[in-house]
Amino acid sequence: MTPALEIRGLKKTYKNGFEALKGIDLEVAPGSFFALLGPNGAGKSTTIGIITSLINKTAGTVKVFGHDLDTDLQAVKRSIGLVPQEFNFNNFEPIGEIVVNQAGYYGIPRREAWERCEHYLKELGLWEKRKDMARTLSGGMKRRLMIARALVHEPRLLILDEPTAGVDIELRRSMWDFLTRINTDGRSIILTTHYLEEAETLCRNIAIIDDGAIIENTTMKQLLAKLETETMVLDLSEPPPGIPEDSPIALRQVDEMTLEADIRSGQHLNDLFRVLDQAGIRVQSMRNKANRLEELFIRMTRPGQSPSHLTPGAGGTSEQPENQA
Amino acid sequence: MSASHLRDYWTAFRTIVSKEVLRFARIWVQTVLPPVITTALYFIIFGGLIGERIGDMEGYRYMDFIVPGLIMLAVITNSYANVVSSFFGSKFQRHIEELLVSPIPNSVIILGFVFGGVARGLAVGVAVLLVSLFFSPLSIHNPGVMLIIVLMTSILFALAGLINGVFARTFDDIAIVPTFILTPLTYLGGVFYSISLLPEFWQGVSMLNPILYMVDAFRYGSLGHSDFPIAMSFAIIAGFIAVMYGIALVLLNRGVGIRS
């Protein structure tokens, strides 16, 4: 089956000599929900910029559903919908017109464009605002407007560059539902995000880019399986009678009502439950100490540093605004 | 190129033009009204108060003589201003990316912006013409020449505005060309006087000014008087349009100022 995206030996060197991409290879299967992760300045946005022809590449090939960027640019452009990281619409235009005009750029007649506009603005809860100027929208509404605009020409590949940055939790969840639905309908999606929980929740495939090179490209499942140790935080319903010292699972007491348990690769939660049961420890609730993907991400991109060194919010709740680009 | 492609391009072209027209129409107090007021002041002060003392110019009442030039002045500055501000604004706010990611050929993008500028140039030109009727009777010697010259002139300056917009990095950059090049060329382009009034040397220098031929040809269409053959004026303007279009196309194809 023709890949949704096929990149070979992609290089980008800017005029100032900065080598943003050092010859990356990447393949995205059709219909997949693909995460492209990397620290700031790793090359994510440059890659997306080249795919969407906003940035000129230095070397390499890019194919979208088999259409070559160099020889069949128009077909490539028709196949892609882009939701960029920064707001890039005219703030002084009504939002309905922004979406309809975008359809017009793809040759879609005005009446049909309005029908599509209505469909997507309704899906994204913006139809009632269609006559409002874009500048009057909230940050979350602006993000949704860019999604509607990117979908109005029905692209087969949707590229989202940090679509939920600065969006509140409730809205983020509803955007996740919407994106999952359109992916289930067959649209391929590439997502970059700083919220690793988002990537872990939505994406089946993942590539990690760092310093202009792809350092991992696999399925989410296989990647998470590489995690050697997971630390679980146990909130107790009563102080523990004692901490077993010879347990196969390392337990340590954080405070009177909290324990931490290290589960190594190959061990199961059932092993932990057995240990807890035998020791008479009663657990109220349990959670991962750090987002699993976050743990791996930091290890791969910043060897020797723990997530807490880099992301103060690490601990499964990646809602902190410091991650906004 | 297939028929469906042509249809798509036509839709895209219409979309850009209607967007551009809506843009300046929405802010008509900033775009259409000021040039009309300015030109009305020209009519009152230069045409009425001072013109009465100047007497005739090339056999015409001074007021009647300057009307075609002032219409062209409005068309030139507004065609230019519309495209340069719109194109730079779209770069500044980054919504130029809406066009860059879509499958529109650069030639269609250029034509869309240019005809948006032509629309504003004509809208202001017509408004100024209507205002002129309070001061001078409508004089049409050759409507075909008038229409074609005004169209070609606005196309040329819309293209020039686009090129300025491509290179502009700051709002200051979009004011430099109008202030230091366009305005002097327009004022020295025979709007307020006949070139025959100048000493021979300055007549020669003036002939390097393309705006002179536009004003002259438009004045011919209106009054029937011209300092140069009309065919020569058409050829010069057409030549400039071809060069400007070529430059604009090369710049967009290379992504100057719009792609990294």
User: How many C-beta atoms lie closer than 10 Å to residue B141's C-beta?
Assistant: 15
C-alpha to C-alpha distance for B250 and B257, rounded to whole angstroms: 12
Percent of residues, chain B, with pLDDT higher than 90: 65
Task: Flag whether pLDDT at B182 surpasses 50.
Answer: yes
Phi, psi at residue A72, to the nearest 5°? -140, 55
Q: Is B230 exposed, middle or buried (0-12, 13-18, 19+ CB in 10 A)?
A: middle
Residues A149-177, mean pLDDT to the nearest whole number: 90
What pLDDT shows up at residue B225?
84
pLDDT tens for each residue of B115-174 = 999 999 999 999 999 999 999 888 899 999 999 999 999 999 999 999 999 999 988 898
Q: Which two tokens stand for residue B30?
A: 């900033």
**Rg of chain A, C-alpha, whole Å:** 23
Whether chain A has a CB inside 8 Å of the CB on B253: the answer is no
How far does B8 lie from chain A, in Å, by closest CA?
4
Give Cβ neighbours of residue B188 (< 8 Å, ≥ 6 apart): B206, B209, B211, B212
DSSP A228-290: -EEEEEEEESS--S---SS-SSEEEEEETTEEEEEEETT--HHHHHHHHHHHT--EEEEEESS
Whether chain A has a CB inside 8 Å of the CB on B6: the answer is no
**Which positions in chain A have a beta carbon within 8 angstroms of at least one beta carbon in chain B?**
14, 49, 52-56, 73-75, 77-78, 80, 82, 84, 86-93, 97-98, 101-102, 104-110, 149, 153
Residues B233-239, mean pLDDT to the nearest whole number: 94
Q: Distances in Å between the alpha carbon of B86 and those of B78, B94, B101, B253?
A: 12, 12, 18, 19
Between residues 157 and 176 of chain B, which touch chain A (CB distance below 8 Å)? Answer: none
Tell me the pLDDT band of A304, cut-offs 50, 70 and 90: low
What is the third-level CATH fold of A5-220? Rossmann fold (3.40.50)
What pLDDT shows up at residue A288?
81
Q: Which residues of B touch A93 (CB under 8 A)?
A: 19, 23
Task: Flag whether pLDDT at B83 surpasses 80.
Answer: yes
Percent of residues, chain A, with pLDDT higher than 70: 90
Any idea how long chain B is?
Answer: 260
Out of A92, A98, A104, whose CB is closest to B12? A104
Asked whether A117 and A96 are in contact (CB, 8 A), the reply is yes
A316: left (phi over 0), alpha (psi -120 to 50) or beta: left
Whether chain A has a CB inside 8 Å of the CB on B17: the answer is no
C-alpha to C-alpha distance for A77 and A6, rounded to whole angstroms: 15
Q: Which residues of A touch B103 (CB under 8 A)?
A: 73-75, 77-78, 105-107
Q: Which two tokens stand for residue A207?
A: 């590539």
Asked whether B253 and B102 are in contact (CB, 8 A), the reply is no
Q: Is A242 exposed, middle or buried (0-12, 13-18, 19+ CB in 10 A)?
A: exposed
- Segments of chain A assigned to CATH 3.40.50.300: 5-220
What pLDDT shows up at residue A227?
65
Task: Flag whether pLDDT at A320 surpasses 80.
Answer: no
C-alpha to C-alpha distance for B216 and B190, rounded to whole angstroms: 7
End-to-end CA distance of chain A: 35
Q: Which residue has the higher pLDDT, A101 or B200?
A: A101
Q: Distances in Å between the alpha carbon of B32 and those of B24, B27, B122, B191?
A: 8, 8, 10, 20
- Segments of chain A assigned to CATH 3.30.70: 226-315
Between residues 25 and 64 of chain B, which touch chain A (CB distance below 8 Å)? Answer: 26
Tell me the pLDDT band of A302, cut-offs 50, 70 and 90: low
Q: Distances in Å between the alpha carbon of B135 and those of B31, B45, B129, B151?
A: 23, 11, 10, 24
What pLDDT shows up at residue B51?
82
**Rg of chain B, C-alpha, whole Å:** 19
Residue in chain A nearest B12 by alpha carbon: A105
What pLDDT shows up at residue B53?
84
Q: Which residues of A touch B259 (CB under 8 A)?
A: 53-56
What pLDDT shows up at residue A39?
85
Q: Which residues of A touch B23 (CB under 8 A)?
A: 92-93
SS3 A188: strand
SS3 A38: coil
Task: Flag whether pLDDT at A312 surpasses 70.
Answer: no
pLDDT tens for each residue of A32-47 = 999 998 888 889 999 9
What pLDDT shows up at residue A290?
66
pLDDT tens for each residue of A253-301 = 888 889 888 888 778 888 889 888 988 899 999 888 766 677 677 777 7
Residues A87-101, mean pLDDT to the nearest whole number: 95
Tell me the pLDDT band of A317, cut-offs 50, 70 and 90: very low
Out of A91, A102, A107, whose CB is closest to B98? A102
Residue in chain A nearest B108 by alpha carbon: A105
CATH class (in words) of the domain with range A226-315: alpha beta
Tell me the pLDDT band of A222, cut-offs 50, 70 and 90: confident
What pLDDT shows up at residue B3?
85
Tell me the pLDDT band of B111, cut-offs 50, 70 and 90: very high
Asked whether B26 and A97 are in contact (CB, 8 A), the reply is no
What pLDDT shows up at residue A7?
96
Q: Domain-by-domain residue ranges, chain B?
A: 3-254
C-alpha to C-alpha distance for B62 and B76, rounded to whole angstroms: 21
- What value does the mean pLDDT of chain A take? 86
Tell me the pLDDT band of A318, cut-offs 50, 70 and 90: very low
Out of B11, B99, B255, whose CB is closest to A107? B11
Bridge partners of A68, per DSSP, are A63
State the Cα angle at A47 between A163 and A38, rounded to 5°: 65
Asked if B19's CB is within 8 angstroms of A88's CB, the reply is no
State the Cα angle at A158 between A193 and A226, rounded to 5°: 45
Asked whether A139 and A121 are in contact (CB, 8 A), the reply is no
Asked if B26's CB is within 8 angstroms of A90's CB, the reply is no
Q: What are the b/e assignments for B54-86, b being 16+ CB within 10 Å?
A: beebbebbbbbbbbbbbbbbbbbbbbbbbbbbb
Give Cβ neighbours of residue B154 (< 8 Å, ≥ 6 apart): B75, B76, B79, B117, B118, B121, B122, B125
Asked whether B95 and A92 are in contact (CB, 8 A), the reply is no
Could you tell me which of B68, B84, B239, B110 has the C-alpha nearest to residue B170?
Answer: B84
Q: Which residues of B touch A110 (CB under 8 A)?
A: 11
Task: Tell which of B1, B2, B7, B11 to mutate to test the A interface (max A CBs under 10 Å).
Answer: B11
Q: What are the b/e assignments for B198-227, b being 16+ CB within 10 Å?
A: eeeeeeeebeebbbbbbbbbbbbbbbebbb
C-alpha to C-alpha distance for B43 and B62, rounded to whole angstroms: 10
Asked if B11's CB is within 8 angstroms of A109's CB, the reply is yes
What pLDDT shows up at residue A18?
92
How far does A165 lie from chain B, in Å, by closest CA?
18
ipTM for the whole complex: 0.89
Which one-letter DSSP state was computed for residue B178? I
